[in-house]
């Protein structure tokens, strides 16, 4: 299985380390800087970073359509924080280029500025495969977005009140927090399992 990490800006190193911790070989983790490097990938991580910067560079280098096409062909995508913003179609109050793959509205910087950034624990019963499924997941929110108005194909996996912070739509996984900043790899493993499942089909 070959997984790419969009390497234009942001927490690329941390996602690489997380994927390696899930057992992926370093040579099967590709830092993607050009659209041509998407070709033989089964999965793509769009990391946390600055969504305006990432969106701008993705547009400039012609990434948007090739990623949409790969997603239609079945490539899985994990978007964390800025990556979640970029997966979506509609951004509350902002006009910026996005992939428009995820049927959910996004509120950017939904929890406020940096001094409002926080850590919390989430219970993710759909993901936690531990017996009992009760081990909380450390979730770091940094100037984080959240989702609202999910479409019918969107499965909400975690929310803080009404604010959707983890959602799945087929093989797209959108996460408002930063699993790459903690040593808990269950979410990365879950993403890889989504891709592996579809491989078997």
178 is catalytic: yes
159: Cβ–Cβ under 8 A, 6 or more apart, which residues?
A: 165, 166
Report how many residues bind another protein under the rule CB under 8 A: 38
Q: In Å, how far are 2, 3, 43, 136, 189 from 195, measured between CA atoms?
A: 10, 10, 7, 24, 10
Segment 80-99, which members bind another protein (CB under 8 A)? 81-82, 94
- How near is the Cβ of 184 to another protein at its closest, in Å? 12
Among 4, 7, 79, 179, binds another protein (CB under 8 A): 7
> What character string, x for contact with another protein (CB under 8 A) and - otherwise, covers 100-139?
--------xx---xxxxxxxxx------------------
3-state DSSP assignment of residue 156: strand
Calpha distance 26→70 (Å, rounded): 22
Segment 42-71, which members bind another protein (CB under 8 A)? 48-50, 52-53, 56-57, 60
Residue number with CB closer to another protein (117 or 198): 117
- How near is the Cβ of 181 to another protein at its closest, in Å? 5
- Select from 201, 200, 122 the least CA-distant residue to 160: 122
Among residues 14, 15, 175, 178, the one annotated as catalytic is 178
3-state DSSP assignment of residue 110: coil
- How near is the Cβ of 30 to another protein at its closest, in Å? 14
**What are the phi and psi torsion angles at 159 (to 5°)?**
-145, 150
First to last CA, the chain: 15
Q: In Å, how far are 52, 178, 184, 196 from 135, measured between CA atoms?
A: 35, 17, 11, 24
Calpha distance 170→160 (Å, rounded): 22
Residue 70, phi-psi category: left (phi > 0), alpha (psi -120 to 50), beta (remainder) = alpha
Among 70, 168, 171, 178, binds another protein (CB under 8 A): 178
- How near is the Cβ of 65 to another protein at its closest, in Å? 19
- How near is the Cβ of 56 to another protein at its closest, in Å? 5
Among residues 81, 103, 175, 188, the one annotated as catalytic is 81
Decide if residue 12 touches another protein (CB under 8 A): yes
Task: Write out the residues near another protein by the rule CB under 8 A.
Answer: 7-14, 33, 48-50, 52-53, 56-57, 60, 81-82, 94, 108-109, 113-121, 140-143, 178, 181-182
């Amino acid at each position: 299985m070959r997984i790419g990490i969009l390497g234009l800006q942001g927490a690329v190193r941390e996602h690489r380390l997380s994927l390696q911790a899930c057992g992926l070989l370093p040579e099967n983790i590709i830092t993607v800087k050009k659209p041509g490097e998407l070709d033989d990938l089964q999965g793509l991580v769009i990391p946390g970073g600055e969504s305006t910067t990432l969106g701008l560079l993705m547009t400039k280098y012609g990434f948007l359509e090739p990623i949409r096409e790969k997603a239609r062909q079945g490539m899985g995508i994990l978007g964390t924080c800025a990556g979640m913003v970029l997966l979506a179609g509609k951004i509350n109050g902002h006009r910026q280029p996005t992939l428009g793959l995820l049927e959910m509205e996004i509120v950017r910087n939904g929890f406020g500025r940096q001094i409002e950034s926080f850590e919390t624990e989430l219970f993710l019963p759909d993901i936690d495969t531990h017996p009992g499924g009760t081990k909380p997941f450390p979730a770091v929110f940094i100037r984080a977005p959240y989702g609202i108005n999910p479409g019918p194909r969107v499965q909400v996996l975690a929310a803080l009140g009404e604010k959707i912070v983890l959602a799945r739509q087929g093989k797209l996984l959108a996460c408002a927090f930063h699993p790459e900043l903690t040593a808990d790899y269950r979410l990365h493993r879950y993403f890889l399992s989504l891709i592996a499942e579809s491989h078997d089909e």
